Amino acid sequence: MAKSVALSETDTVRMAGNLSVMSYETAVTRMYELGHELAHASAHKFDLAHMRVLLEALNHPERRFSSVLVAGTNGKGSTAATLASILRAAGLRTGLYTSPHLVRINERIRIDGQEIDDDDFARFHDGVDRAASNLLEQGDLPHHPSFFEMLTAIAFEYLAERKVDLAVLEVGMGGRLDATNVVDPQLSVITDISLDHQKFLGNTISEIAREKAGIIRQGGVVVTLPQQPQANDVIGNTILELDACGINAAQYVPPVSPGSSSCFDSAPDAALRLSYPLQVMGQQIQVETPLVGRHQLRNVALAVAAAEQLAKQGFPITPAAIERGIRETHWPGRFQVLPACGSTPEFVFDVAHNPAGAWALRSTLANRYPDRPLVFIFGVMRDKAVAEMTEILFPLADHVIVTRTENPRSATPSEIRQAAIRTSTSIEEAEDVPHAIERARTLAGQRGVIVVTGSIYIVGEAMRLQGARI
Cα torsion through 261, 223, 72, 186, rounded to 10 = 130
- pLDDT at site 45: 52
Q: How far apart are CA 291 and CA 294, in angstroms?
A: 9
Q: Flag the least confident range among 59-68, 100-109, 177-186, 271-280.
A: 271-280
Average pLDDT over residues 351-369: 92
Domains of the chain in sequence order: 1-63+105-164 (3.40.1190.10), 65-92+187-331 (3.40.1190.10), 336-466 (3.90.190.20)
- Give me the amino acid identity at 378: F
Q: What is the pLDDT of residues 239-285, one digit of tens each?
A: 999 999 999 999 999 976 444 444 544 343 444 567 999 999 999 99
CB-neighbour burial class of residue 27 (10 A; exposed 0-12, middle 13-18, buried 19+): buried
Asked whether the CA dihedral 36, 353, 98, 25 is positive or negative, the reply is: positive
- pLDDT at site 266: 38
- pLDDT at site 34: 84
Helix axes 147-161, 48-57, angle to 10 degrees: 40
Average pLDDT over residues 333-347: 93
Model confidence at 440: pLDDT above 90:
yes
Q: Flag the least confident range among 2-6, 283-287, 306-310.
A: 2-6
Model confidence at 55: pLDDT above 50:
yes
Give the CA angle between residues 162, 315, 98 to the nearest 5°: 50
CB-based contacts of 349-352 (< 8 A; 24+ apart in sequence): 349/452, 349/453, 349/459, 349/462, 349/463, 349/468, 350/451, 350/452, 350/453, 350/459, 351/453, 351/454, 351/455, 351/456, 351/459, 352/389, 352/393, 352/453, 352/454
Q: Flag the least confident range among 203-207, 329-333, 359-363, 459-463.
A: 203-207
Non-local (6+) Cβ contacts of 23 within 8 A are 7, 11, 12, 13, 122, 126
| pTM for this model (two decimals) | 0.90
- pLDDT at site 271: 45
Give how far the C-alpha of residue 403 lies from the chain's centroid of Cα atoms, to the nearest Å: 22
Give how far the C-alpha of residue 88 lies from the chain's centroid of Cα atoms, to the nearest Å: 19
- pLDDT at site 36: 55
- To the nearest whole percent, how much of the chain has pLDDT over 70? 87
Average pLDDT over residues 344-362: 93
Could you tell me if 347 and 453 are in contact, meaning their C-beta atoms sit under 8 angstroms apart? no
Model confidence at 101: pLDDT above 70:
yes
